[in-house]
Amino acid sequence: MSDNAVSCHSPAPAAAKDNPFLNGLWKQNPVFVQVLGMCPTLAITNSVRNAIAMGLATTFVLTGSNCLISMVRKMVPKQVRIATYIAIIATMVTLVDYLVKAISITVYKALGAYIPLIVANCIILERAEAYAGKKPVLKSTLDGLGMGLGFAFALSCLGTVREVLGAGTFLGVHIFGPNFEPWVLFLLPPGGFISLAIWLLTFATFRERKAKREAAKAKADLEQLEAAAV
C-alpha cells in the first residue's frame, strides 16, 4: 500500500504544472493520442451537428461520473470498484438519455442507440480507473471536463472533414455552390475509417516534427556547452 502511495505521488511535482483540464483537451486527447472510444468516434461523425451533440453528451457523463466516483473513492472496497463505477456511469447515461430526448427529439433520433452505448465507451471507465478513483474531487471533475471536451473536439474535427467532403456542407450550410459533386463515400462507413486514419497520421507527423526539433535543439545546446567548456 505504501509503495502504491509513493508511486502515486512521485509524478506529482510534474503533474502539478500539468493542468488536468488542458491535459485531456490536448496532450492526452482521448481520440488522437490514446485512441479510445472509437465506436462513437466513427459512427456519429457523419455530420458536425451530431458530432458536437455526441461530444457534449459524453462530456456530461464523463464530468459527472468522474466527480461522483472521486467522492465515493474512499468508501468503495477495491474488489467491487469496477462494478460500482459501472453502476454510477450507467446512472449518468440514463440521465443523459432522458435529457437529450427532452432537449431535441431530432438529435435523439439521429444518435439513436449510441446514447445508451456511452456506458460502454472505454474512455469513461478508463478515466474512472486511472484518475477519478485516486484523485480529489475538484481535480477529477476538471479532468473529466477536459477529457470530454477533448473528445468533443476530436469528434468535430472528424465530423467537419466528413461533412464537408461527403455532403459539401458545414453545419447544414452549403459551402461549395451548386456544382459540387458530393463525395458520398465519406458519409458511409469506410469514410469514417479513412478520415480517422488521416487525422491520426496528421497528428503523428506534428508530433514527430516536434520531437525532431527538440532533439536538434538539445544537441545544439550540448555543443554550445562543450564549446564554452573548451
Partner 1 sequence: MNDSLGHIFIDSLLINNFVLCVFLGMCSFLGLSAKFSTAWRMGVSVMFVITVSGVLSYGAHLMLVALHAEYLRIILYIVIIASTVQLTEMFIKKTSPALFRELGVYLPLITTNCAVLAVPLFQDSRGYNLIQSTVFAIAASGGYCLALMLLSLIRERTYLSDVPGLAKGTALTLVLAAILSMTFMGFAGMGSGG
The C-alpha cell at 137 is 474531487
Q: Which is nearer to partner 1, 31 or 52 (CB)?
A: 31
- Residue closer to partner 1 by CB (options 72, 125) is 125
Residue numbers 139-198 binding partner 1 by CB under 8 A: 185, 188-194, 196-197
- Give 142 or 161: the residue with its C-beta nearer to partner 1: 161
Q: Which residues pair with 174 in a beta bridge?
A: 169
What is the closest distance, in whole angstroms, from the C-beta atom of residue 91 to partner 1 in the complex? 7
Minimum CB distance to partner 1, residue 228 (Å): 36
Torsion sign, CA atoms 189, 182, 157, 44? negative
| SS3 assignment, position 173 | strand
**Residue 194, SS3?**
helix
99 contributes a contact to partner 1 by CB under 8 A: no
Number of residues that make up the chain: 230
CB-nearer residue toward partner 1: 88 or 164: 88
Q: List the one residue from 18, 98, 136, 174 that touches partner 1 (CB under 8 A).
A: 98
Instruction: Look at residues 41, 59, 55 and name the one whose alpha carbon lies nearest to residue 161.
Output: 41
Q: Which is nearer to partner 1, 9 or 213 (CB)?
A: 213
Cβ contacts of 170 within 8 Å, gap of 6 or more = 48, 160, 163, 164
Pick 101 or 219: Cβ nearer partner 1: 101
To the nearest whole angstrom, how small is the minimum distance from the Cβ of residue 114 to partner 1? 9
Alpha carbons 95 and 99: distance in angstroms, whole number: 6
Which residues ranging from 15 to 44 are in contact with partner 1 (CB under 8 A)?
Answer: 35-39, 41-43
Output phi, psi for 59, to 5 deg. -60, -45
To 10 degrees, the CA torsion angle through 83, 89, 94, 99?
170
76 counts as binding partner 1 under rule CB under 8 A? no
> Which parts of this chain interact with partner 1 (CB under 8 A)?
35-39, 41-43, 82-83, 86-87, 90-91, 93-94, 97-98, 112-113, 116-117, 119-122, 125, 185, 188-194, 196-197, 200-201, 204-205, 208
